[in-house]
Amino acid sequence: MLDNDRLARYAAAFKKDASKEFDKAVMALISLAWEKGDLSDNFLWEANPQLDAEANAILRDLSDTLAEKAKERARVAVQEMLDFDEFDTAWDQTDGDDYDTILFRLDMQGSHLKDLLAIWIALAVVNNIGKSELRVLVLRYLNNPFTSPLWKRIPIDSLRWGRGYSRNVLEQLTLIGQNAIIGAVRFAEWMDASERGAKYYIRRRGSSYACDECQELANKPIPIEVPFVIPHGRCMCYAEYFFDEIV
């Protein structure tokens, strides 16, 4: 059985990767805007195709880097915790298809970041704020930009997505990577147990997080043919594998 605290530490380590890469991307985007953008109170990346392409390249790099780092963290976790050498298969199986891959989900957050920064840049121009100060403000109000004094003054109707936009992009990027790590490691453990002839497993709740699905699945035998899944973000439910027939 995997050590839950140990797995949580591999996932926690990804948080540092995400913060570091996110910070780098924010600074690169702000610098790009300052260097090549048409800085006005109506700043739009799309207004300049060259600028837009360069911004997209920075965001693609952010997604690629985070997807690679998550995969690497998961690989090391599997290497250190399991005697299992088909990590790549486990990773591919837990990565979704088409619009549900880790990369696609990271890209979605990247496009939220791009929109978020467009507004921040316009506000910085109007309020005579320099680029390093802007970086500090963006990071400080990531949880909810509407609580910053600058955003409070914007007429809400003028925002493309209205008040609903208040998701912390860094938090979402972190969650996507951490779920990929936890999911892949659990899946590798399930593959390994299946190959070694396990007949069934029992899921145990690893946290008190209120999840009906996890609660429903817990504490009863599940045939080994049913792959282990993580129904919600950072699910810490774990499996006990059994090698005798279900009685």
Closest contact distance (angstroms) between CB of 101 and Zn ion is 22
Q: Tell me the site size for Zn ion, rule CB under 5 A.
A: 3
Closest contact distance (angstroms) between CB of 205 and Zn ion is 6
Q: 200 phi and psi, to 5 degrees?
A: -160, 170
Give CA–CA dist 232/243, Å, rounded.
28
Report the residue number, 55 or 214, with the smaller CB distance to Zn ion. 214
Binders of Zn ion among 124-153, rule CB under 5 A? none
Buried residues in 136-154 as b, exposed as e (16+ CB within 10 A): ebbeebbeebeeeebbeee
Report the residue number, 130 or 231, with the smaller CB distance to Zn ion. 231
Give CA–CA dist 228/20, Å, rounded.
31
Binders of Zn ion among 176-235, rule CB under 5 A? 214, 235
Give CA–CA dist 201/232, Å, rounded.
19
237 binds Zn ion, rule: CB under 5 A: yes
Closest contact distance (angstroms) between CB of 231 and Zn ion is 6
Nearest to 14 by CA among 247, 210, 171, 129: 171
11 binds Zn ion, rule: CB under 5 A: no
Report the residue number, 88 or 213, with the smaller CB distance to Zn ion. 213
Closest contact distance (angstroms) between CB of 232 and Zn ion is 6
Q: Which residues bind Zn ion (CB under 5 A)?
A: 214, 235, 237
